[in-house]
Structure 1
Amino acid sequence: MAKKVRKLHVKVKPVRLDGLPANPGEETAAKNLFAMVELKWKGPVSGFGLGLIPFYRSNPPVNHTASKPISLGASHVEWEDEFDRVCCIVGPWNISFNVFYGEALDAKSKKTVIGKATLDISEIASKLELTVERKLPIRSKGLLSKEATLVVNLTFSEVRHEADDFIQLGPISVDSVIPKKMASRRDSSNFDSSSSPATASSSSGVSPILGTGSSSSPEENQSEPGLKAGFNWWKRRRLSFSMTWRREPREDEATTKIPSKPSEPEPEKPATAEDLSIEANKWVTKDLVSRDRKSKLRSEVYTASIDQRSEQAGGEAACAAVAVVVSHWFQANPRLTNPSETEFDSLIMQGSALWKSLCNEDSYLRLFPNKHFDLETIVSAKLRPVRVCNDKSFTGLFSPERFASLEGLMSFDQIWDEVEKEVAIASGESRVYIVSWNDHFFVVKADLEGFCVIDSLGERLFEGCKQAYILKFDESSLMYEKTGEEESSAVVVCKGRECCREYIKRFLAAIPVAELAAKEEKGNVVGVSLLHEKLQIDLHHIMLTGD
């Protein structure tokens, strides 16, 4: 079973800074000086349980106290600010404090750090004290006395009751922004095919999406287990996944074009807009090749006409907000496989509009200046009537057995086994998860009939795609693996909903795992924080608040 994380509501109050210079110089004494404390919720220490902690963004949440004036000759300064956060603790969990000193300080101005301190809240929490006060020694750059300290008050409360185990979300009205036109929904009997994306966010490699039209049937798919005939999918036209990886023209290409002989294969042609689009609001069978070109998935894809970055939506970094909106829709419509026609577009626009509403709030921007809000922040903003069930949420890492520093931590396969168990005991009901991986959020819907991956960012399907999509894995889905250089060397490695597990491993995680493992095998030190940032995946179980 996945290990349960201890969840604490922590309040932190920087009370007083002692050790200000008693005799400032004449030039300093003539200035109006201020002091401020910056608090960073840094999280778990590398190597101590990070595999069980959501690692949403590389930038930790940050708070700032008010800027307090320093009286001439004063040896201390005090604050009244208090900050709080829900922390999931499984090992050492650090908060860092930076002390700023100077003129006209504010959260956004350029400031000089004159001292630092660090606090491990897990050590204090383990003593089961509800309220404590700590004097933290300040590591100073010389402007403070050697005995300088920061006095901090902490209050703990454990989140452990059923009502508290779910973070509540309430509705926010954006009727003035979102069109209300909704087309009729499809009947649940249309759950007859699967689909899957073909990209990861790493800049290595290339991967094509190969259309076969929408006419192929499960019987036709099953008849090609050896991929022996008519499948030149390893050598078909490729779409590059990163500008930095686009092939540079060779010297002869840069000077003149030499007509090819009739017997020579035609040169690759650049992808057109038609190549990069999929007919919207229709299930279409596609052959998707992994970026390392070692695997291929045949399944079906259903797309919207836009994605979160489109001009209509304008949700550049709205993936977490859209994931909440989409997961709510699937929970509210458990018998439906997909939103119908313009409804999918509407969900993308709703999530993007809600994200933009948060971007207008200074309290959120102080925590996330880059507007890449983490899921916990989106959840606390009360966007939709859903909740996160922590007891049925899971965190793991891709291939931890390949890295010495990750030994013993939960693997992706282990947490996926837990998901399969949840589906098996759900009595036909679906399970909906918001997945956090590699700085992005998407949705997975799982039931006995199959699995769906729903993503608001088209680039996750293939580079140049500008359509949100649903990828469905059911009995018609097939996953192939290339075992040699020949086109006929591909064999079926799995089929059905099991392809969803293999898709996530082979299409999303394979390249970052291989790159990091190669570094470690060469003797290079790979930091534990980097491993967790690139390899950790979190599955947050989403439920309606009324359930």
Structure 2
Amino acid sequence: MAKKVRKLHVTVKPVRLDGLPAILGDETAGKNLSAMVEVKWKGPVSGFGLGFVPFYRSNRPVNHTSSKPIALGSNHVEWEEEFERVCCIVGPWNLSFNVFYGENMDAKNKKSLIGKASLDLSELASKQESTVERKLLIRSKGSVLSKEATLMVNVTFSEVRTEPDDFMQLGQISVDSAIPKKKSTSRRGGGSHFDSFSSPATASSSGGRSPVVETVLFSSPDENQSEPGQKAGFNWWKRRRLSFSMTWRREPREDEVTKTSTKPSEELEKPATEIPIEANKWVMKDLVSRDGKSKLKSEVYLASIDQRSEQAAGEAACAAVAVVVAHWFHANPKLINPSGTEFDSLITQGSSLWQSLCDKESYLRLFPNRHFDLETIVSANLRPVRVCTDKSFTGLFSPERFASLDGLMSFDQIWDEVEKEVALASSNGETRVYIVSWNDHFFVVKADLDGFCVIDSLGERLFEGCKQAYILKFDDSSLMYEKEESSEKLVCEGKKCCREYIKSFLAAIPVAELAAKEEKGNVVDVSLLHERLQIDLHHIILTSSD
């Protein structure tokens, strides 16, 4: 069962900074000296309270106050900006403050950083007070600040109630939004921002963080003040992808050369990429994992497009498409796949809804890369479905291989729970639909008595070069093999292949690479491990009004 969390609307206001060096002399002496505070919503303490708690990946937001000049003879500065966020608190929740001081203020310039402070939101929230004011002692870097330097911070709380308590609700969809819009010839984002990695060795949001549902509501009233944070968020998002660029792929641009991680993998995948698969037809297919160690024999059903195609133009639309697809399977519980061009239509509908969010400045301020997390989509009134937190699960791939993750919930453990839920639902003639998030990508898993289906709007995750969304079916005909030097060993068959597919095709490479670093004695940051290895299964149900 999911742990009970407190969903709070938090407003943070850095009020006053004391302990700056007093500027003496004439007006020119300190005309360029100013101070600024950076607010980092860091989230729960790493490793705390994991288990069956939904984990929504999005960029860790960073806010900045304005850069305030220091008055002559003064040793303090004050601000009026407030920053707001919704946080679901399950344990210690860290909020940090970085103090910058100097000329030509730039948060990227580490030389301007003169001190740090932090507080625990959960400790303040436990006081059951709507407003708390704290004077934080600043940990000074260098000799600029006095030893008694402090930052006065005002924090207000209000509880956010959902309907009902166990659900997060997506509102009703409008009639217009159900109809695919005409696509413009130019692709949003200039073609530079794509949805996660596209190889089948990767999967989904995030933001590497800990077990917490978070959504930025809006930033400082001054747009310019939030800009540094936006850039920081985007760069963080981009770096995460490039760090594994040799093995995890996004859609290549024309000026890029596609590389694969190893020649063996490249050779093994040639049969999969050279044999075309007819759209809108179930075909038995042999698929080989990127690391070349596993082979799956199962049926696959393809659309004629995927989210990145010109018709859809939904480069980073995976969360929106997943919601649309999940709703379709609930509306058509007896069907295993959309018929004819209906699959294409679901892709274009989801992409169109994503584009409508991209047209809203309020969303772009929060997600300049246009890669919205599931919590944002859940709050965007796209389809009449809910995320049931009590039936949602969070785990990590191979936590036993990492000292800092030892004892935390594994993917195998949460999949055992999923299988129990599916068996219970099947006995009542029901299906289970999950939106799975891992490494900033979202896809759908539909499960019933007959088997499991993985529905993904990004074709490259099926095999390299594929540009069609797909449904991968795991039923009695499915076989999973472990490839050895000169032979193949049957690992499992039937519905059990879905579990092994996610482990061997999606997670094997990142687990191996991170484990190799740790085995060499390199300390792998626990937040990085959560970003790369945590997987969330969000149970999707229809709203009562549907």
TM range (shorter): 0.7 to 0.9
Residue 200, structure 1, aligned to residue 202, structure 2: yes
Residue 407 of structure 1, CA deviation: 1.5
Residue 466, structure 1, aligned to residue 458, structure 2: no
Tell me the secondary structure at the aligned position of residue 358 of structure 1: helix
After TM superposition, list the pairs within 5 Å mapping 1:224-373 onto structure 2: 243=259, 245=261, 247=263, 275=274, 277-373=276-372
In 2, distance between residues paired with 1:122 and 1:399? 29
Residue 396 of structure 1, CA deviation: 0.4
Preserved contact between residue 43 and residue 95 of structure 2 (Cα < 8 Å): yes
Residue 179 of structure 1, CA deviation: 6.6
CA distance 1:544–1:8, change in 2 (3 Å): same
2:497 paired residue number: 499
In 1, distance between residues paired with 2:115 and 2:292? 51
Residue 277 of structure 1, CA deviation: 4.1
In 2, distance between residues paired with 1:479 and 1:244? 23
2:440 paired residue number: 439
1:542 paired residue number: 540
In 2, distance between residues paired with 1:156 and 1:471? 45
Q: Deviations over 1:493-529 (max 9, x none)?
A: 2222111111111111122222222332332222211
1:237 paired residue number: none
Range 524-533 or range 459-468, more displaced = 524-533
Q: Deviations over 1:157-186 (max 9, x none)?
A: 556776133222222543675379xxxxxx
1:486 paired residue number: 486
In 1, distance between residues paired with 2:325 and 2:43? 29
In 2, distance between residues paired with 1:344 and 1:457? 13
1:178 paired residue number: 181
Range 136-145 or range 526-535, more displaced = 136-145
CA distance 1:27–1:429, change in 2 (3 Å): farther
CA distance 1:275–1:139, change in 2 (3 Å): same
Preserved contact between residue 434 and residue 444 of structure 2 (Cα < 8 Å): yes
Range 112-121 or range 377-386, more displaced = 112-121
Tell me the secondary structure at the aligned position of residue 278 of structure 2: coil
Q: Deviations over 1:428-460 (max 9, x none)?
A: 211111111122111111112211111111111
Preserved contact between residue 16 and residue 78 of structure 2 (Cα < 8 Å): yes
Tell me the secondary structure at the aligned position of residue 425 of structure 1: helix
1:252 paired residue number: none
Tell me the secondary structure at the aligned position of residue 473 of structure 2: strand
1:517 paired residue number: 515
2:23 paired residue number: 23
CA distance 1:285–1:10, change in 2 (3 Å): same
Range 309-318 or range 457-466, more displaced = 309-318
In 1, distance between residues paired with 2:272 and 2:413? 40
Preserved contact between residue 305 and residue 468 of structure 2 (Cα < 8 Å): yes
CA distance 1:108–1:283, change in 2 (3 Å): farther
CA distance 1:18–1:381, change in 2 (3 Å): same
Residue 283 of structure 1, CA deviation: 1.0
In 2, distance between residues paired with 1:356 and 1:25? 55
CA distance 1:18–1:455, change in 2 (3 Å): same
Residue 296 of structure 1, CA deviation: 1.6
Range 325-334 or range 428-437, more displaced = 325-334
Preserved contact between residue 170 and residue 380 of structure 2 (Cα < 8 Å): yes
Relative to its length, the structure with more helix (as a share) is: 2
In 1, distance between residues paired with 2:496 and 2:272? 32
Structure number, greater radius of gyration: 1
After TM superposition, list the pairs within 5 Å mapping 1:202-221 onto structure 2: none
Residue 53 of structure 1, CA deviation: 6.0
CA distance 1:352–1:245, change in 2 (3 Å): same
1:98 paired residue number: 98
Preserved contact between residue 277 and residue 466 of structure 1 (Cα < 8 Å): no
Q: Tell me how large the CA RMSD over aligned residues is.
A: 3.6
Range 91-100 or range 170-179, more displaced = 170-179
CA distance 1:87–1:62, change in 2 (3 Å): farther
In 1, distance between residues paired with 2:44 and 2:431? 33
In 1, distance between residues paired with 2:98 and 2:248? 43
- Residue identity opposite 1:521 in structure 2: E
In 1, distance between residues paired with 2:259 and 2:372? 27
- Residue identity opposite 2:347 in structure 1: I
- Residue identity opposite 2:431 in structure 1: S
Q: Deviations over 1:315-352 (max 9, x none)?
A: 22221121122112222222221122222112212222
Range 25-34 or range 466-475, more displaced = 25-34
TM-score under structure 1 length normalisation:
0.76
Residue identity (%): 71
In 1, distance between residues paired with 2:315 and 2:497? 30
1:183 paired residue number: none
2:43 paired residue number: 43
Structure 2 unaligned residues grouped into runs of 5+: 184-198, 204-243, 250-256
How many residues get paired? 475
In 2, distance between residues paired with 1:72 and 1:46? 43
Preserved contact between residue 10 and residue 156 of structure 1 (Cα < 8 Å): yes
In 2, distance between residues paired with 1:490 and 1:269? 16
In 2, distance between residues paired with 1:109 and 1:381? 36
Preserved contact between residue 51 and residue 536 of structure 1 (Cα < 8 Å): no
Q: Deviations over 1:8-30 (max 9, x none)?
A: 21412214123154436646667
Range 504-513 or range 92-101, more displaced = 92-101
In 2, distance between residues paired with 1:87 and 1:497? 34
Tell me the secondary structure at the aligned position of residue 521 of structure 2: coil
1:450 paired residue number: 451
Preserved contact between residue 303 and residue 468 of structure 2 (Cα < 8 Å): yes
In 2, distance between residues paired with 1:36 and 1:332? 52
Range 516-525 or range 383-392, more displaced = 516-525
Structure 1 unaligned residues grouped into runs of 5+: 181-196, 208-240, 249-266
Tell me the secondary structure at the aligned position of residue 97 of structure 2: strand
Tell me the secondary structure at the aligned position of residue 96 of structure 1: strand
TM-score under structure 2 length normalisation:
0.76
- Residue identity opposite 1:43 in structure 2: G
- Residue identity opposite 2:202 in structure 1: A
Residue 382, structure 1, aligned to residue 384, structure 2: no
In 1, distance between residues paired with 2:393 and 2:310? 35
In 2, distance between residues paired with 1:506 and 1:522? 23
